Amino acid sequence: MGRIFVFGDDIDTDVIAPGGYLHLKIEDVKKHCMEAIYPDFWKEVSKGDVIIAGKNFGTGSSREQAPVVLMELGISLILARSFARIFFRNAVNVGLPIGTIADPSEFKAGDIAEIDLEKGVLIRAADHKEINFKAPSGALADILSEGGIIPYTLKKLGKLPDDKR
C-alpha cells in the first residue's frame, strides 16, 4: 500500500533534482527533490508511494539523479500520460517501475492504493477502483524485471552481482 502524489505536465529534471546539488551524494540531493514546487515532498514520501503525472514527465536533463532520488525516497511506481525520453530510459535502467496512463485525473493526491506490477494495475484501497497502465515491453521489461540494467548486464556478461555471490 502506498500514497499517491499528483503532479502536472512537463515536470522537469531541474525540479526533481536541482542542479546546484548534483555534485553531492544522493543522500544530500534527495532533500531537494521537488523543492521548487513541493518543498516538503522529500519528508512526506515513503516506501510504496506512487507518482501520477501528466505529459512529458522528466523533461530536460540526462541526470540520472532524477529517477534515483525518487526511488531512494521510496517512490515505487510513476504513472504519467507520457515520459521524456532520457528520464524514461534512466528509470528503466535503474529499475524504477514506470507506466503510461490515458487519464491521470482518475486518482487524487492522498489516495491510498496498491500496486500490481505484473498485471499492470493500480488499485485504490477505498473503493477498489482500478487503473490500468502500460508498462515497458520487450527487452525493456526484461531489464526492469532484472532490477535494472546493472543486474541485466552482469547476467549478460555471465557474472553475478557482488551481493549474490
Other beta carbons within 10 Å of 57: 30
Query: Does 102 participate in binding other proteins (rule CB under 8 A)?
Result: no
Helix (H, G, I), strand (E, B) or coil at 105: helix
Number of residues that bind other proteins (CB under 8 A): 45
Among 90, 98, 99, 122, binds other proteins (CB under 8 A): 90
- For residue 84, the 8-state DSSP code is -
Name the minimum Å distance from CB 55 to other proteins: 6
- Span from 19-27, 41-49, 102-110, 116-124 in contact with other proteins (CB under 8 A): 19-27
* CA neighbor of 155 nearest in space, from 137, 138, 145: 145
Exposed, middle or buried: residue 45 (CB in 10 Å: 0-12, 13-18, 19+)? buried
Among 1, 36, 102, 125, binds other proteins (CB under 8 A): 36
Please give the grid coordinates belonging to residue 97: 517501475
Binding site for other proteins (CB under 8 A): 10, 12, 14-15, 18-20, 22-24, 35-37, 55-56, 59-65, 68, 82, 84-86, 89-90, 93-94, 138-140, 148-150, 152-154, 156-157, 159, 161-162
